Homo-oligomer: A and B are copies of this chain.
Amino acid sequence: MNISEAARRSGLSAKTIRYYEDIDLIAPAARGENGYRQYDSGAVEELHFLARAREVGFDLQECRQLLNLLRDTQRHSRHARELVLEKSQQLQQRIDKLVAMQSVLEDMASRCHGDEGPECAILEDLAGAGEETQ
- Residues of chain B within 8 A of A121, CB atoms compared: 77
**A80 and B120 in contact, given A85-B109, A102-B91 (Cβ under 8 angstroms):** yes
* CB atoms of A73 and B118 under 8 A apart: yes
A87 at the interface (CB under 8 A from B): yes
- Shortest CB-to-CB span from A85 to chain B, Å, is 5
Does A64 sit within 8 A of B, measured CB to CB? no
Q: How large is the interface on A (under 10, 10 to 19, 20 to 34, 35 or more residues)?
A: 35 or more
Chain multiplicity (copies): 2
Nearest Cβ on chain B to A80's Cβ, whole angstroms = 4
Give the residue among A45, A57, A76, A81 with the most B Cβ atoms within 10 A. Answer: A81
18 A–B contacts, CB within 8 A, in A order:
A49-B126, A52-B126, A55-B101, A57-B98, A57-B105, A70-B127, A72-B118, A76-B118, A77-B113, A77-B114, A77-B119, A78-B115, A80-B112, A80-B122, A81-B122, A84-B112, A88-B106, A94-B98
Q: 9 other contacts beyond A77-B122, A81-B112, with CB at 8 A cut-off?
A: A48-B131, A52-B125, A52-B127, A53-B126, A57-B105, A66-B123, A70-B126, A77-B112, A77-B119
